[in-house]
Structure 1
Amino acid sequence: MTAKTLFVTGTDTGIGKTRIAVALLHGLRAAGHRAVGYKPVASGCETTPDGLRNEDALALWRASTPGWGYDDINPIALVDPIAPHIAAADAGVAIDTGVLDAGHARLAAASDWVVVEGAGGWHVPLSDEADFADWAGAHGWPTLLVVGMRLGCVNHAVLSARAIAARTALVGWVANTLPPVQPRLEENLSCLERMIDAPLCARVDCDPPADLALNPEPWVARIKPRE
């Protein structure tokens, strides 16, 4: 039996996808599950004695059930902190979705849950032919949208939610409060709850505890198979 997979995407880059993915891993492990994070493609890596390392991928690795190597969590690591397909082209690397699939399969074969974190938003390209929406959508992975609560988030969130729902199951969304706190935050939250056709699964403050835990099982259980 292979793992359940949850795909975590966001309205933009730098809006808290890793914070939420780590919280999901904490919640799943606290519930007794073997849970592992997967950052298939990471740009903005630093050179270390052990090879290229990405801060977000390291956070997922540390939050995962032990036993995996860094390369299992992040098979494609790129130096430049720019869009992955551009960073890959600069590095002479092809982002092959077959490689991403193989990495996911290894994790899934030995886990109960795999929490996959994308890069940037839903339609960030992987190559000239494919983007994250193509890859996650082809697998039909239930997807959680992280909304960075800041000026402009309403448009970004609504467009992202509709695009996700057109390709796969949108489990719901998380309101991740960014500093400085958005003016009229409560009104913006109410607006998004009306406009997004999926539940608000969690609301996270600017300074959550380091051991913040979220459990996706109740959300995923609400998903109805497509006809």
Structure 2
Amino acid sequence: MAHPPGRARAAQELAVRLRADSPHLDVSTRSVPEPIAHGLAAESHSADLVVVGSPSDGDRAAPALAVTAQARCPVVAVPPGAVWEDDLPVVVGTDGGHLADAAVLAAFALAAALGTGVRVVCCTLGAPVTGPRSASVEQATFSVVGRCAEQYPDVPLDVRIARSHVVSGLVRHAALASMLVVGSHSTGDDSIGHRLLHRGPGPVVLIGPLAPTHRRPVPLGCDPAVE
């Protein structure tokens, strides 16, 4: 999606290559005059995912965070040089806060589509609960996971309680994941999403405040592992 003629031609050329590589996909292009964040946010009303590339220079987190703040669906930020490993689990980081349900449900939906599993990672150092449902991060996480897992009984589930800080713990798990899913509360330079977009080795899926908190209704038991 781009307005300048050069970018529009590049998008059309990319669509031709995608159709050749994946003939079963319905690929279309659209050019809009709006700023990219507003244009993609508008498209998110009828989309399951919005995917944005990260610039190789400057603030590579800025485009994705700007779109996430307005998007009505998850936003996937793909860093330069990212390698796609769709046989690895989808990792989702959560503290059981108010974006937890949307983030964990998005992780299950993505894992179901990819035919892989979900690894829920709860980092307990410096991660206060942002919602009122529970007095402890671990309890809040288990509550969210229990609700979400009931909708995806066929998706393998692994829960990890990591005695580490959020960013370092999630970056470590992201190294062995197809993608990392997190809630995005703010667009500031000190936000978790901003730091993960700069340090994460692969695609990062951001769940913003306007993303849906429910997906497809479709129970899975698991033994949480403590690290």
TM-score of the pair, normalised by structure 1: 0.32
Name the structure with the higher strand share. Answer: 1
Q: Which has the higher contact order (CA 8 A, sep 6+)?
A: 1
Larger Rg: 2
